[in-house]
Amino acid sequence: MAQHSLTSSQKHGTLQTIQPNSISTTDPHDIRHMLSSPRYSKSSYYRILRFTATDSLVTTRDKEKVSRMRRIFGSYFNATYVARMEPLILDCGIIRIMRIWDQAIKEDGGKINYCETFNLATFSIISRLVFGEEEIRVHKNSSGGQMDTVRWMSKATTYMCFRAVLQLLPPWIFHLVTMPWDHYCREVSDYVDQCIRKRQLSNKSQSDLLQALVDSLKPQDNGTPLLSRDEVLAESFLLLIGGIDPTAYTMVWTIHLLLLYPEHLQKVQTELRHKFPPEKDQLLTFSQLRNQVPYLEACIYESMRLVTVPCVQIPRTCPVGKVSLQGREFAEGTTVFANIWGSHHSPLNWDDPERFSPRRFLDDPRAKHSVFAFGHGLRLCMGKHLAMMNMVTILANLLRSYNIKSPVDYSHTGPEIKGAGDIPKLMPMSQFVSAKPKYPERDCQLIVSRYKDEKKNNNN
Ligand code: HEM
């Protein structure tokens, strides 16, 4: 969908009519304007992300509810609170990955699958932050079998993404198709409910996202809680769905792109190893890394530009009274899609847009303002700090401590396999809600080794 709209925008200009009452824009100025203006509201398309009886922050179009929710959750997503979550994030993220990679080095010549490791780490982090459960629990599934938390959440979130898209079908077909899997929604909400009760009973406050849910249920001075139990459940679904895939797959694409462009991989590793010599074994924290690894940050931004994981377009509805975009007037109720993918790939906005070129963010720091992977303006992603902390700490620690290379028998993907414009070809991608590798088992294998050990061997 995203690629089709890009080709079409290149043919017909940045603003185009896609249906009688819908337009789409790839112009960064238009996108910034409409996403930061309170006059435009979220369009009714967001209903497909509704998994419970009540609207969540992401689906609601009620302005009062939006500002109430963003006020309540804002203090749990700001840089200070996120910093308090860091020990948990390190433990479930980078420490867990390093354990897996070290074991693979010992037992399997360092062969790992980075799509699997990033998914596992992000699942573990979000599961710990939202469920408050560090250990992997075994769940009973509907057929009486057993599943661990990671597999169970993976199945549940995959189902929810499918369910979101299927909502575009007529209601009776939708219910027929989704009925056999609907137990996932019930199981997730029962589990969240159980975790909330456990935390309430323990009476111990912790720095995580479950605490945000528990605190919002506490009665205020007027005797009523900030949120109802249904609203809290709706929010927990949003955190689970929104928190996992985009973070995991942005890291997957960043590693893939660094493998396709080894000159940038080398520059990132030189930056990290020069500033934080790996001989000193300690783990790098986000507070040490913040503003210290501009090359790595530029690579993450460039990866989000080139392969924007939430690859759907962002829809808004034109307000009462006409609005004008690029000199054309649009009536109240017109849907305007911010075509993020098209904007990120347009030669009008970026030089040589199909090439992975992190330097564009170092040469012009303002370029970041034209990357809309986290949305923009009033409804900017609430988890942006958390996601950046996850991605920077995980990628920095890995690329500093390990050498990475593709398996020797990889002849189908690599820097020398070129596509149009003599640009290294990306691995095949599926663009169903999120941009994911189409064949992760085949294409995301990696051989890893400890930099320190290789250096020692080379010196001997
Ligand atoms: C690389 C990782 C991530 C990306 C690329 C991303 C992207 C986005 C995008 C595009 C939106 C929609 C903006 C709109 O509709 O206008 C959004 C909204 C949101 N995201 Fe994220 N997200 C990421 C990680 C996270 C994480 C880790 C969390 C929390 C655990 C989170 C929580 C939210 C919430 C609560 C909203 C709704 C904000 C609102 O509607 O006001 N996101 N995100």
Per-residue pLDDT of the chain (460 residues; tens, 9 = 90+): 455 555 555 555 688 888 888 999 999 999 999 999 989 988 877 777 777 778 888 888 888 999 999 999 999 999 999 999 999 999 999 999 999 999 999 999 999 999 999 988 998 899 899 888 755 565 665 555 555 666 666 666 677 677 766 766 777 777 777 776 677 777 778 888 889 999 999 988 999 999 999 999 999 988 899 999 889 988 888 888 788 889 999 999 999 999 999 999 999 999 999 999 987 778 999 999 999 999 999 999 999 999 999 877 899 999 888 788 888 888 889 999 999 999 999 999 999 999 999 999 999 989 999 999 999 999 999 999 999 999 999 999 999 999 999 999 998 889 999 999 999 999 999 987 789 999 999 999 999 999 988 887 887 7
Residue 248 beta carbon below 6 angstroms from any ligand 1 atom:
no
Residue 278's pLDDT is what? 86
Closest-lying ligand 1 atom to the alpha carbon of residue 239: 30
CA 126 – ligand 1 centroid, Å: 13
CATH at 178? 1.10.630.10
- Looking at ligand 1, which residue's alpha carbon is closest to its atom 20? 381
381 is annotated as contributing to ligand binding: yes
- Looking at ligand 1, which residue's alpha carbon is closest to its atom 13? 375
Residue 11's pLDDT is what? 55
CA 273 – ligand 1 centroid, Å: 32
Residue 383 beta carbon below 6 angstroms from any ligand 1 atom:
yes
- Looking at ligand 1, which residue's alpha carbon is closest to its atom 31? 383
- Looking at ligand 1, which residue's alpha carbon is closest to its atom 3? 246
Closest C-alpha to 382, from 129, 161, 186: 129
Residue 387 beta carbon below 6 angstroms from any ligand 1 atom:
yes
Tell me the best of 209, 381, 391 to mutate to test the pocket of ligand 1, counting ligand atoms within 8 Å of each CB and taking the most: 381
Residue 130 beta carbon below 6 angstroms from any ligand 1 atom:
no
Residue 382 beta carbon below 6 angstroms from any ligand 1 atom:
yes
CA 216 – ligand 1 centroid, Å: 20
CA 241 – ligand 1 centroid, Å: 9
Residue 308 beta carbon below 6 angstroms from any ligand 1 atom:
no
Strand partners, 140: 146
Identify the sign of the CA torsion 51, 57, 61, 64: positive
The span from the CA of 35 to the CA of 283, in Å, is 38
Residue 315 beta carbon below 6 angstroms from any ligand 1 atom:
no
> By residue range, what is the domain housing residue 222?
2-459
CA 221 – ligand 1 centroid, Å: 31
CA 58 – ligand 1 centroid, Å: 8
The span from the CA of 266 to the CA of 163, in Å, is 41
- Looking at ligand 1, which residue's alpha carbon is closest to its atom 21? 381
Closest-lying ligand 1 atom to the alpha carbon of residue 390: 27
CA 340 – ligand 1 centroid, Å: 14
Q: How many domains does the chain have?
A: 1
- Looking at ligand 1, which residue's alpha carbon is closest to its atom 37? 58
Q: Biggest alpha carbon distance in the chain?
A: 75
